[in-house]
Structure 1
């Protein structure tokens, strides 16, 4: 299985453009959230699972890097890499790319990245719960190497 997946694609919506004429910072995070949802769906942690089990992944920590501006109408693709999964946690990262209009394929360098840690939570009990074996197996099967920027904090001024 590939260490990175492109599970989510989205066009930049007009209402996502800020007063500087490019994608507003909040919408980078929205797109990354949709990519996390796509990974959850692929791992079997979808809406049906959440309804049956009362469990879901909660993002408990995230680090976003805004690397380049994104223009109105751009086509985006998010590549996801699972960095690790244990009994209750998943560490993953997303890389956002602008796609070529004709092919729809990502081009150039990432325009933003997000690294996050998610915890599998039993919403009824209000605490962490073990991931289902199948989901954990799927996620660990996707585990790939961390890029050099993963695990960094905010740089000092």
Structure 2
């Protein structure tokens, strides 16, 4: 089970001398088309950073590479787990090759909510907590807590 956040086509510039997508671009795709999308849903993305000075910063992540990707293949970025505490986000994405519905990679991250002016970790405002709680309530049936690396880091 999962929740689709976006789709992306693998471009030639991301292909390395081995003929497949370079590892650096897996992170780019997960960050830009997964984490950024999730942050926007929770009103913690680019607009929040610009307008309120509050944003998230990833402090730990784990990528598992399962199957190589080649130029012009398309992938779905799906959210397969999400939770939070007062200051942290914990999420996991999967990258699915649309050609054969195979798992290409997973990305798990722990992010902190940060006041960009002070550069200090902050607690989520009530509005953000409500948005995240409603999101979990509506989508929990899509999530799996199988094989998580960072679940013990949340202080729930």
**1:31-110 pair list within 5 angstroms:** 31-34=29-32, 35-100=34-99, 107-110=100-103
- Which moved further from structure 2: 81-90 or 9-18? 81-90
How far has the Cα of 1:51 moved from its partner? Answer: 1.3
Of Structure 1 and Structure 2, the greater helix share is in: 2
Q: C-alpha separation between the residues in 1 aligned to 2:8 and 2:101? A: 17
> What secondary structure sits across from 1:84 in the alignment?
strand
Compared with structure 1, are the counterparts of its residues 136 and 82 closer, same or farther at alpha carbon in structure 2 (3 Å cutoff)? farther
Across the aligned residues of Structure 1 and Structure 2, the Cα RMSD in angstroms comes to 1.8
How far has the Cα of 1:13 moved from its partner? Answer: 1.0
How far has the Cα of 1:123 moved from its partner? Answer: 1.0
Which 4+ residue blocks in structure 1 deviate beyond 3 angstroms? Answer: none
Matched length = 143
Look up the match of 2:12: 14
Q: C-alpha separation between the residues in 2 aligned to 1:64 and 1:136? A: 27
Look up the match of 1:122: 115
> What secondary structure sits across from 1:119 in the alignment?
strand
TM-score, L = length of structure 2 = 0.84
| Unaligned runs of at least 5 residues, structure 2 | 151-156
Look up the match of 1:155: none
Look up the match of 1:103: none
Q: C-alpha separation between the residues in 2 aligned to 1:128 and 1:59? A: 12
TM-score, L = length of structure 1 = 0.83
| Unaligned runs of at least 5 residues, structure 1 | 101-106, 153-157
- Which moved further from structure 2: 42-51 or 54-63? 42-51
> What secondary structure sits across from 1:27 in the alignment?
helix
Look up the match of 1:26: 24
How far has the Cα of 1:112 moved from its partner? Answer: 0.2
- Which moved further from structure 2: 136-145 or 65-74? 136-145
| 1:78-133 superposed Cα distances (whole Å, 9 cap, x missing partner) | 10134311111000001001114xxxxxx433110011000000011111011232
